Amino acid sequence: MSSKRTAGWLVLTVVAAILVGCAAPAPAPITVEKIVQQTVVVEKQATVIVEKEVPATVVVEKEVPATVVVEKEVPVDKKTVILSYNRFFNMSFGDGPSPLEAIRQAVAAKYPEIDVQINLAPDNMSQWHDAMAIWITAKDNTIDLFGMDTPWVSEFGAAEWAVPLNEHFPDIADKFEQAGLDLFSYDGKLLAIPFWTATSGLYYRTDLLEEAGYEPPKTWDELTEIVEAIQKENPDLTGYLWAGAKEESLTMVWSEFLYAFGGKYWEDDGACAFNSPEGVKAVEYMKSTIDSGLSPKETTAWNNDEARTRFVEGKAIFLRGPHDYITWLNDPAKSSVVDKWAFMPNPAGEGGIQAGSSGGFGLAIQPYTDDLEAALKVMDVVTSEEVQKAFAIAWGPVQYYKDLYEIPEVKNAYPEAYRLGPVLETSLARPQHPNYAQVSTIIQDEVHAALTGVKPVQQALDDACSQIDALK
């Protein structure tokens, strides 16, 4: 250190000492000012740290666009399956979705890659049939699935106009009553899945039978005995009502009597078997119900609606009729037999079975569909309890899905549907033939001629078989 700098420090020291010694005692402001400066440092540190943490939230915001990837996957490989049916397929008459909407919802849930659309068919069954025949013979793949009417089964089966379903649904009999599957089978091949059908049986007055002390009849002899007993006390009551006019309902009634007395439609070689001894006995019994007074003389002029009138009015004991009467016979506004009736299988005759003629629709796969796999997936959904239940609620019975009428929703929609079980088990298909319309017309003409006495029974049935065999 230089001598000048040392001398300077000595002078400052002496002066400071003199000043201290001369001054009065006071607070040291310099010390306070230094403390304040230190707090500034703290404020700066706190502010800086907090402000720097805020931008970290930006990372979370950047994750949002990832959801766009899910939305873009939906339309990938979407397949459209076209179903042909008339306008009723998109209508519901009950408290539930239409059959089309029910199928769409079920397919979307199980097979989201498939969209089901409808191609509207005509309401007229002949036009609908002809449209399908044209499409299929042209090998047009516009339609994937289509509604099949029961009289078409033989024609479409023989022509291979529907994909056999047996191998694709090997356990189908575990879900559906065999009688329903038989309606849509040809030569052992299941051609369609039933979803709505009609069947027939015997309505009877429970109050009258109970009062007379009788159980419901299982044979025609028992029915006759019951009528005779009840009419002794109630002579104004009609015994047995049925439709005998020359129309399709007569073909159905005749088929029930044919099998009730042990007859059959065809011989093993395909020839007409209507005129067998059993077939003759069946028509003779039909005629005897009118001749004996068991049934009214007007029977041969009545259709189903006319035949049921006396029963609905409370003026008859028994009525042969279609199943759908069960949905309104307990409606006081329409019926005089509320809670006084029941529904059961038709009686059997000697050597025969209890049988109820059936009809209706099933869903089939067009053989020239361009996506059999997708069509089968839709058909898989149609066989489900969910969709069969939807058909029942939307259109009412009959469906052949087992135990369907024990499901609470179906019970609530149709409280009387439980009565159908035993009748469904006796369902009988009408005679299958590639020219069914002509066959049915021949049956109506010849059986009606026998019932009205225009021809002897044997001759009428011989004539029927000659005409039918000539159709081949």
179 within a domain of the structure (yes/no)? yes
pLDDT tens for the chain, residues 1 to 472? 443 333 333 323 333 333 233 333 333 333 333 333 443 333 434 333 444 444 444 444 444 444 444 444 445 578 999 999 999 999 988 889 999 999 999 999 999 999 999 999 988 777 888 899 999 999 999 999 999 998 899 889 999 999 999 999 999 999 998 888 988 999 999 999 999 988 899 999 999 999 999 999 999 999 999 999 999 999 999 999 999 999 989 999 999 999 999 999 999 999 999 999 999 999 999 999 999 999 999 999 999 999 999 999 999 999 999 998 998 899 999 999 999 999 999 999 999 999 999 888 999 999 999 999 999 999 999 999 999 999 999 988 888 899 888 889 988 888 888 888 899 889 888 898 888 888 999 999 999 999 999 999 999 999 999 999 999 6
Segment holding 210, helix H or strand E:
helix 206-212
Non-local CB neighbours of 456 within 8 Å, separated by 6+ positions = 450
Please, how many CA atoms are within 13 Å of residue 290, restricted to the half-sphere of its CB?
19
Whether 231 is covered by a domain: the verdict is yes
Residue 411 lies in a domain: yes
Do 462 and 320 share a domain, yes or no? yes
Is omega for the bond preceding 457 within 30 degrees of 0, making it cis?
Answer: no
CA-based nearest residue to 271, from 14, 82, 469 = 469
Same domain membership, residue 368 and residue 348: no
Question: What is the domain extent for residue 189?
Answer: 77-198+358-427
Instruction: Indicate the number of domains in the chain.
Output: 2
Based on the domain organization, do 111 and 221 belong to the same domain? no
In 3D space, the residue among 391, 390, 356 whose CA is nearest the CA of residue 182 turns out to be 356
Same structural domain, 323 and 436: yes
Whose structure tokens read 């529907």? 162
How is residue 29 written in tokens?
């402001």
Domain contains 122:
yes
**Is residue 252 assigned to a domain?**
yes
Is residue 14 situated within a structural domain? no
Q: What is the CATH number of the domain that holds 278?
A: 3.40.190.10
**Cα-based distances in Å from 263 to 132, 288, 294:** 33, 18, 23
pTM of the predicted model over 0.95: no
CA distance 246 to 35: 120
- Give yes or no for a contact between 353 and 260, defined as CB atoms under 8 angstroms apart: yes
Give the CA angle between residues 458, 460, 462 to the nearest 5°: 65
Question: What residues contact residue 162 under an 8 Å CB cut-off, 6+ apart?
Answer: 148, 156, 191, 192, 364, 365, 366, 367
- Taking a C-beta distance cutoff of 8 angstroms, is the pair 101, 395 a contact? no
Same domain? 106 vs 160: yes
Q: Is the domain of 183 the same as that of 205?
A: no
